[in-house]
A and B are shown apart, each in its own frame.
Chain A
């Protein structure tokens, strides 16, 4: 479709501010919400322009403010954005997880209420899944929601609620029937974090950052209309949302505009030296090639899955495989990066290290969460063994 590609490119060239065609450091990622802070005005400008076209959510229906694009058109948009180096204008759990689930399971009223502010970046969402006693065994969660007439009364303790302290709403898995088997008494509830009794608390991580929180829910009143799907049937929705989450996390290795990524081999040449244009240390060179080739094959597999989906093949449980491989590769990338940097990759703060060196150290530590969040690698292997290979319990 040359015309769509041409008009898209022309629009992007005209509307994407030059400052938004540069490398995007982690603190300049835009997630929106009432508490959004912008480092530069172009971030908001770019978000508003893209949101007005619905291109923050390119494939969502136009009646909710989405772009109404086909998958093929969305791919063209993504390719053109990558080619021009355009930053992703908005990112978050509303776009990547809740939205797709509401489109599939939500009522018309829920879609009308929640999708437009997600697309505009007005409301930021976080995820209330894990609990201190419910990690990989998510279905053993104990946060209680009791239906009292027109509202639920919710009590419980959620953990790893990423960015809860910067979010406006939280989608939660709650137990609504404690007598039923553990997968059958769970419901999916949308909770306004401005309600009294919702209290997020940031948790300091090994990287020194505090993107994760724990969130306490104490006698929170939630309108009954905020229940998504039928009562006690939340587990189906929970699993579908996890598929979307895994797709997103697995995309880590594929996501960043490649033109701004500092290639491993360049880092290796800089820190370990080069001979005849090759990385001087043959062991490091081999290790980098091994990583690069696995990452390359992974990208090709994502592309193949997209082409198969476009050709009408049913979406398989491949999201588990992408989550597993994408995150393991991302960890390997940082391990190799650190190895290439030598001493310079081990700084924590202060003098003697460049901004990039210090950033890589923190990102290396952050990457360790990749294979834990959204279902550990071990859980993904269980899913593949069960659902793809049909191995018995």
Chain B
């Protein structure tokens, strides 16, 4: 499994970096927030992303995608993290595309994948129910009713939940967990306004009747299907967080060179130099973990799950560190809303909590390693 990028992946990375810098700088996120934009994202931008083929990286060629894989998608997500671009890359291009192409019936694939690929269909995974990422604690129930099911329960922290055309709902069935495809409008949805100004929603299903065609994958087979896809989400989100950490770090180092106090650049002070150097090391090791994780996922390597947990844990710690240090080293100006540096710290906490905080990742890593 290589830890350096292929020429193709490098091209994707360069294209994505330019794309997000030009089309979705941090001012775009600020505008969505300040305008109280109801959708919390730009549909125009999302269609452009679809035109570039990035919605199809995890969809095989026979289903209309490119099958370029996680390494490619990670380049796009890392670039989007640099500008904190608010897009449904994680909910739709990663989670939705993965689950539908891995487990979808021919009918389901024909129905959902073409509009998803075109950027016309947003998919959201309705998984969490407690205050933390807990994929094995599902209480929302699906009770058999004739040939179909009736769904009852609540979900929270559903990324892009309030704008999703389709929700993939994790529900408890007789002897396990099952995934169901539910139209977004069939749920009672409350948008959650998060500290990072990104999209999340609370969702309630009240005795919602769905037909047998709504089931994604096998009955009671949801966990086996979802777990490897959650590892993809951890690695992909880690890539996005790496981009954010790297950007916060780069901006901070520049500030240390520009800002003068006592007649000298503050970057000449050893107390700040050492902390900047520590951040550099953390960013570089996180990059290795992310590259290893996406490479392992693409090669279906045995240690893919372990590496995905490693990547997410490292990204959690590194974005936490860089986000905090960025604000502290920018001093008073870092506390202002006008300055962009605070956005990175706000994003860090939400991204950390998504799909496994550091405690979760360590626990899973130790369990996978046999202790």
Q: Which residues of A contact B (CB under 8 A)?
A: 265, 268-269, 274, 277-279, 285-286, 288-290, 292-294, 296-298, 300-301, 303-304, 307-308, 311, 318, 321, 324-325, 378, 380-382, 384-386, 388-393
Contacts and interface: CB of A to CB of B under 8 A. Distances in A.
Contact of B284 (A277, A278, A293, A321): A321
Contact of A307 (B4, B268, B289, B363): B4
A385 B274 contact: yes
B293 to A, nearest CB: 9
A278 B371 contact: yes
Interface residues of B, number: 40
B277 A286 contact: no
Contact of A304 (B4, B365, B370): B4
Contacts, number: 120
B193 to A, nearest CB: 33
A202 B4 CA distance: 46
A381 to B, nearest CB: 4
Contacts of A304: 3-4, 287-288, 291
Contact of B371 (A265, A298, A311): A265
Interface string B269-302: 0100110111011001111110110000000000
Contact of B288 (A303, A385, A389): A303
Given A286-B359, A390-B257, A301 B284 contact: yes
Task: Name B's interface SS.
Answer: helix
B369 A265 contact: yes
A389 B285 contact: no
Given A304-B3, A325-B285, A391-B276, A277 B313 contact: no
A297 B370 contact: no
Given A288-B371, A321-B280, A297 B286 contact: yes
Q: What 8 pairs between A and B have smallest CB-CB spacing?
A: A385-B273, A265-B371, A384-B277, A300-B288, A289-B362, A304-B3, A301-B288, A391-B267
A388 B274 contact: no
Contacts of A294: 285
A127 B211 CA distance: 77
A292 B365 contact: yes
Given A277-B370, A385-B276, A393-B268, A293 B310 contact: yes
B370 A265 contact: yes
A328 to B, nearest CB: 9
Given A293-B314, A382-B270, A389-B253, A300 B370 contact: no
24 contacts: A265-B369, A286-B363, A286-B366, A289-B371, A292-B369, A294-B285, A300-B289, A300-B291, A300-B292, A303-B3, A303-B288, A304-B3, A304-B4, A307-B4, A318-B284, A381-B274, A382-B270, A384-B277, A384-B280, A384-B281, A385-B274, A385-B276, A391-B256, A391-B268
